[in-house]
């Protein structure tokens, strides 16, 4: 985890300095900072990144416009860190390729915790051979091949964002169990999920767009009124 590369993109020098200082105290050594979109792309091309923190309001380009360009070059975990707090802004952040969304002001230690949680989940543990037959989760219309890291719909591979895949995989491992939004956020993102309902809702929508014959009338990933979400698996599958 100490060798992870972190790219901080923000035009506020004080925020960059604060995050750099806190992250180094938390043990991170490879931290790069950029105040513009152009500089961010240059550093990304030169050093790469495992985690990217991206502000929306940059002097030369919106972070929402920069995010797709980053996605063309990198699969790094991308966290928007911004003062823009409307539901539309949050949805736009996820739609353009973000994995998480944090609003200013923020606790820098929370940022460090989110980064550590994401990096922990990026490590693939060794899998005993005895468990290999359980690495395909079949729901009839769709299946998740955990070993290959693929979502299959009617037998054909379907692309899915990394974080949505992780959420779907967690639900596949716990079918027919109701989870609250906060429980899902804590299980998949790795930290307390209080106040992060939008994050889960957006990723649930991304999943439904891929696994449901009719996303507007879901029959697999369903809402349980007042409780949360449940992934339904029929008996015999």
Supply the DSSP string of the chain, one letter for each residue: -TT-EEEEE-S-HHHHHHHHHHHHHTT--EEEEESSHHHHHHHHHHH--SEEEE-SB-SSSBHHHHHHHHHHH---EEEEEES--SHHHHHHHHHTT-SEEEESS--HHHHHHHHHHHHHHTS-----GGGGGGSEEE-SSEEEETTTTEEEETTEEE---HHHHHHHHHHHHSTT--B-HHHHHHHHHSS--TT-HHHHHHHHHHHHHHH-SSTTS-SSEEEETTTEEEE---TT-
Buried b (16+ CB within 10 A) or exposed e, 10-48: beeeebbeebbeebeebebeebbbbbbbeebbebbeeee
Per-residue confidence at 135, pLDDT binned at 50, 70, 90?
confident
Other CB atoms within a 10 A radius of the CB of residue 203 amount to 24
Quick one: pLDDT at residue 130? 36
Per-residue confidence at 185, pLDDT binned at 50, 70, 90?
confident
Answer whether residue 105 shows pLDDT above 60: yes
Quick one: pLDDT at residue 132? 41
- Identify the CATH homologous superfamily for domain 5-121: Response regulator (3.40.50.2300)
Per-residue confidence at 196, pLDDT binned at 50, 70, 90?
low
Answer whether residue 194 shows pLDDT above 90: no
155, with CB counted inside 10 A (0-12, 13-18, 19+), is exposed
pLDDT digits (tens, 9 = 90+) for 68-100: 999 988 989 999 998 887 878 888 888 888 888
Query: Rounded to the nearest 5°, which phi and psi values hold at 144?
Result: -115, 120
Quick one: pLDDT at residue 192? 63
Tell me: domain 129-231, CATH 1.10.10.10, correct? yes
pLDDT digits (tens, 9 = 90+) for 150-184: 999 999 999 998 889 999 999 999 999 999 888 88
pLDDT average, residue stretch 29-52: 94
Answer whether residue 126 shows pLDDT above 50: no
Q: What rounded mean pLDDT belongs to the chain? A: 86
Quick one: pLDDT at residue 190? 74
Other CB atoms within a 10 A radius of the CB of residue 111 amount to 23
Question: Which residues does 41 contact at the CB level (< 8 Å), separation at least 6?
Answer: 66, 69, 70, 73
- To the nearest whole percent, how much of the chain has pLDDT over 90? 54
Query: Rounded to the nearest 5°, which phi and psi values hold at 82?
Result: -155, 160
Domain ranges of the chain: 5-121, 129-231
Do the Cβ atoms of 83 and 57 come closer than 8 Å?
yes
Per-residue confidence at 33, pLDDT binned at 50, 70, 90?
very high
pTM: 0.59
pLDDT average, residue stretch 44-66: 93
Quick one: pLDDT at residue 219? 95
Quick one: pLDDT at residue 129? 34
Buried b (16+ CB within 10 A) or exposed e, 114-127: bbbbbbeebeeeee
């Amino acid at each position: 985890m100490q060798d992870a590369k972190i790219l901080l993109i923000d035009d506020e020098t004080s925020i960059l300095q604060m995050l750099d200082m806190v992250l180094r105290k938390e043990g991170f050594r490879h931290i790069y900072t950029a105040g513009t979109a152009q500089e961010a792309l240059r550093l990304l091309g030169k050093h790469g990144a495992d985690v990217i923190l991206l502000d929306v309001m940059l002097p030369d380009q919106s972070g929402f416009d920069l995010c797709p360009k980053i996605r063309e070059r990198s699969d790094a975990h991308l966290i928007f860190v911004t003062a823009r707090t409307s539901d539309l802004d949050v949805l736009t952040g996820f739609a353009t390729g973000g994995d998480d969304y944090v609003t200013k002001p923020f606790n820098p230690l929370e940022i460090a915790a989110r980064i550590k949680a994401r990096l922990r989940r990026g490590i693939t543990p060794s899998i005993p051979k005895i468990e290999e037959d359980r690495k395909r989760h079949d729901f009839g219309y769709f299946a998740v091949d955990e070993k290959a890291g693929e979502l299959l719909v009617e037998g054909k591979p379907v692309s899915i964002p990394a974080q949505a895949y992780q959420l779907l995989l967690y639900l596949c491992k716990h079918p027919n169990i109701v989870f609250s939004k906060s429980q899902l956020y804590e299980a998949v993102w790795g930290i307390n999920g209080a106040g992060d309902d939008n994050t889960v809702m957006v990723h649930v929508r991304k999943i439904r767009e891929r696994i449901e014959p009719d996303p507007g009338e879901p029959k697999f990933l369903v809402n349980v009124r007042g409780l949360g979400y449940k992934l339904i698996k029929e008996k015999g599958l």
